[in-house]
Amino acid sequence: MIPRIGSRVAAAVATLALAGAGAVAAQVPASASSFTATYLCNVPGAGTETSTINASLTASPNPATSGSKVGFALDVTSISVPASVAINSWNATAVIEGSGAETSAFTATASGGSVPAGQPINNVDMTGSWTPSASGTDKFLIGDITINMDAASYGNVTVSCTPSGSRPTAGTLTVR
């Protein structure tokens, strides 16, 4: 029975793991960079599950000014697995890694309410911010994602997801 419960929780968590996405109030219109990535999610009691996400990352404003805060929106539009168990609530954190003019890392977060069993989680918003300190161009990759959820039948579950294989560039930012 544990593997069956674990696989249901795994599917629900894989859905949440990569469903975070975000809207940030934009001072200047910014275009989103779309990408697809594969993640391996470690689900307690079930092992490792594979999930594919389609998402976009937007930095706003872009171009930005050195020393001024930039908002980031990680918009996950679809995931490969629907939630197989009812979820009461959830929250997620994604690490966004930057390189180029400077090396950086910051988090984007999201939270949500109930998700009926069998329904996918789509168009969820994750938001974060970062203040660049060097002029130039920075590129961003999405790193580890952690999901904490309250699964209706199983209680609190934490799932850790890591990128699998090479990661696509999620977005770029020009800093003046």
Q: For residue 130, what is the domain's CATH number?
A: 2.60.40
The per-residue pLDDT for range 9-52, each reduced to its tens digit, is 444 444 444 443 333 333 444 567 789 999 998 877 778 889 88
Q: Containing H/E element for 100?
A: strand 87-100
In degrees, rounded to 5, the angle at the alpha carbon of residue 49 between the alpha carbons of residues 46 and 53 is 145
Q: Which domain holds residue 113?
A: 2-175
Structural domain count of the chain: 1
The count of other CB atoms within 10 Å of the CB of residue 174 is: 16
The per-residue pLDDT for range 46-83, each reduced to its tens digit, is 788 898 888 899 999 999 999 999 999 999 876 666 66
Mean pLDDT of 119-125: 70
